[in-house]
Chains A and B, each alone.
Chain A
């Protein structure tokens, strides 16, 4: 049995590396498409200023992009290094979208990104625009496949447990790909990336406008960001709602935790705006509720019921009991794979096998569990309610704030007014907000999934590798130092590039006669 210290440290490391990776990815997702928009204007209008705009934001894109790539390396291998049992248990399903991501998306993105930076003088205008588009397409397809993988952890469909190989295996690959949770998550996540990039471009443009520098480029960038950001912020909230809808079908516990809702309410349930939920007290006090709204959002009807935590725990108890039968059958089948009675018992109860595994946290052999242990295991299905409750409210609150913010920006840019200093200052203040919303959004999704690595299938504490505490500390400290140093360097280079501002591009030709000045020092413009 692996120690809980190893499990908790493995979770800590995964959270650190994933949250860090996801500081860079959203900007890549959004900025790549904004580059496509800007460069399209250049190709259509043939005005060099739009090329300078594209190149300037492209430079910032590049500084950010490489860290996304570098930290993505860790993610691709971290399931194997730190979650070996998970990798064995669900690799048959989970590995596929990761491999397809490499084959279909990341190759595209990484091959064309080189040409995007090096190809300005080697490609035709349209050729270069195509290259930029391929980078945007590749990075967004990347997100699609990663979220197909993640969506399966939240809502594992199209797979079943095979006692002969002791793992989950695919039964319906199309169901895995077209998982409704994955689809909703994909649109929600890439839209969040577009919001992030829009806030970034708007913020930097506002800085130039406040300083009275690079006005022509700042105004144009402001306009692009305002329009793109308004569309994206509407999409992120509306399609975030779609994720909420999907939750009701499978991850009821997550929804109940988000709402701090311990008791099932008569339909339609009210939406909790404020409250003080507590895991130990098993209640939420000081609630302020808006009647009917939650029921409407999450079931799309007036009669659909939203289940409370207490009732979900009761369901878990029943599923644990069934899971023990499945577990017993698997143990019998290990000894004799042709035992027909065990095979039949397994087939009837296999959907609940994961619930029996929850008991392993408290007892080595789930078949020996008494009623008190089952009760404990059932309650262990409740995630950290206050954390989820509050982080969700931060995310959702920021989501609505972005809509108001971009609506205002769009109004100003439509009126060609770029001098409202209060708004320009607000734009600067808003710059860190999308990152906060995105990171807490990730935390809601993944903490809300606990105690499961794969919902209802494999508990997190069983998923970890058989590592030691010193090994984990070595890598946690190592990654923290390495990532910390790189973060400082990245931010400094970003700031230096912003301070330097956009430059006029003079196309270089291999046959151009100009020799560099003697003091050129061989320092490239970038």
Chain B
């Protein structure tokens, strides 16, 4: 089979698709995580909590597939990244999975019994299922920016020299909190569209706090990245069409290198700009009681903040702090030329179909969850 796209182009496309998947996950399942994290606070009574749960009840399951597809697509397109990150962040990954496992069960089982303790227990399980993944994802991104302590031997077997607690440093906690703030804001944005009454009032309040926190943490995080001596740079000539072997491209740690791309390509500054503009728009929306604007703002915040991380690091995907020569980049960590192309064809065919029926599902479930429906609809959780 002759492949009509060269290897370098396919690697860039798959780097972009990696971003699309992460952003897709944040935009959709992100508000489910945020809503779950808000559940015990924005909803005080059982009926109020059911309003929140049923705001995401019909669609969260499809949203979660972005996460699962993310795992599968990283496996298929960036096998090194899949192998190194998930085995390196082993216990953190276990925390995320345990928390996420609580969600399907929590949504489905919570309202199956009228018992108040049963329901309160599941409410907190759902809270954990929303908060912990949001936090750990952010901490993980912080660690990716700093570089992870791993090395690859001659057979390209990975050895990791960090620990679970080692993942939590002041900077990575900051990125973790930024992730929580951003997703809680997004949850608030979604619930602004879907709820009414006292829940809506509280959601606006929490949304306001999350928006302000997002702006502050994003700014502090940016300053830290700029001045703390963080960053890696490709040293010497690298062949973007070369074989996927991390030992073949020399990378070195270089203070401030995460800002290089913005100097070379000023248009990339659009990403951090959106990262700030999004929460500001959401704030304006909350002030002006314009719920669509809140959700649009929180969505823009997600796109901006996640893109900022990706663009700052390009071509790096996962740098190594103890052996920069083992760092994974867009040029040395991908699948083979043929697999990238085949997977691109599959994506081009199926992703539009997925988006079409997802949009239809949202259309069917369109509208606010009313207090009346909560009490009358036998199909509601």
Contacts and interface: CB of A to CB of B under 8 A. Distances in A.
B98 A115 contact: no
B336 interface: yes
Contact of A103 (B58, B80, B347): B347
Given A114-B62, A466-B160, A95 B79 contact: yes
A66 B122 CA distance: 14
A145 to B, nearest CB: 9
A162 B379 contact: no
Interface in A85-128: 85, 87-88, 91-96, 98-104, 106-108, 110-115, 117-123
Interface in A376-393: none
Contact of A505 (B57, B370, B378): B378
B338 A170 contact: yes
Nearest to A464: B87
Interface in A127-163: 134, 162
Contacts of B105: 66-67, 70, 486, 489-490
Interface stretch (A220-228, A346-354, A440-448, A508-516): A508-516
Interface stretch (B108-116, B138-146, B189-197): B108-116
Interface string A158-184: 000010111101110100000000000
A80 interface: yes
Of B154, B370, B376, most buried by chain A (CB within 10 Å of CB) is B376
A92 B339 contact: yes
Interface string B130-148: 0000000000000000000
A19 interface: no
B72 A84 contact: no
Contacts of B104: 66-67, 69-70
B224 interface: no
Given A103-B347, A112-B361, A512-B376, A95 B243 contact: no
A133 B158 CA distance: 44
A165 B157 CA distance: 12
A466 B87 contact: yes
Interface in B363-379: 364-365, 370, 372-379
B84 A107 contact: no
B83 A85 contact: yes
Nearest to A467: B90
Interface string B66-80: 011101111111011
A478 B351 contact: no
B365 to A, nearest CB: 6
A510 B109 contact: no
A87 B57 contact: no
A526 B379 contact: yes
Contacts of A88: 79-80, 83, 156-158
Contacts of A506: 378
A66 B107 CA distance: 9
Interface residues of A, number: 89
B357 A111 contact: yes
Of A111, A117, A164, most buried by chain B (CB within 10 Å of CB) is A111
A422 interface: no
Interface stretch (A263-271, A287-295, A402-410, A517-525): A517-525
A84 B87 contact: yes
B46 interface: yes
B87 A114 contact: no
A145 B151 CA distance: 33
Nearest to A93: B339
Given A70-B104, A471-B90, A516-B375, A91 B335 contact: yes
Interface residues of B, number: 84
B69 A99 contact: yes
B46 A522 contact: yes
A169 B46 contact: no
Given A80-B82, A334-B154, A525 B378 contact: yes
Of A110, A122, A490, most buried by chain B (CB within 10 Å of CB) is A110
A524 B158 contact: no
B249 to A, nearest CB: 13
B365 A118 contact: yes
A489 B102 CA distance: 12
B360 to A, nearest CB: 9
Contacts of B108: 62-63, 66
B336 A524 contact: no
B87 A521 contact: no
Nearest to B89: A81
A114 B157 contact: no
Contacts of B16: none
Contacts of B381: 524, 526
B101 A526 contact: no
B97 A74 contact: yes
B279 to A, nearest CB: 29
Interface in A404-424: none
B261 interface: no
A452 interface: no
Contacts of A62: 108
Contacts of B47: 522
B170 to A, nearest CB: 25
A474 interface: yes
Contacts of B65: 102, 106-107, 110-111
Contacts of B347: 103
B70 to A, nearest CB: 8
Nearest to B60: A114
A276 to B, nearest CB: 41
A7 to B, nearest CB: 13
Interface in A246-296: none
B82 A91 contact: yes
B71 A80 contact: yes
Given A74-B101, A80-B85, A110-B64, A170 B339 contact: yes
B75 A98 contact: yes
B159 interface: yes
Interface in B155-181: 155-160
A112 B357 contact: yes
Given A100-B350, A478-B94, A489-B105, 14 more contacts: A62-B108, A91-B79, A96-B339, A96-B346, A103-B351, A110-B62, A110-B65, A118-B380, A120-B379, A169-B339, A465-B158, A466-B157, A482-B101, A486-B101
Interface of A: 62-63, 66-67, 69-74, 76-77, 79-82, 84-85, 87-88, 91-96, 98-104, 106-108, 110-115, 117-123, 134, 162, 164-167, 169-171, 173, 334, 465-467, 471, 474-475, 478-479, 482, 486, 489-490, 493, 496-497, 505-506, 508, 510, 512, 514, 516, 520-526
Task: Enumerate the 8 nearest inter-chain pairs by beta-carbon distance, A residue then B residue, closest first.
Answer: A91-B79, A80-B86, A95-B76, A95-B75, A111-B62, A102-B69, A84-B87, A99-B72
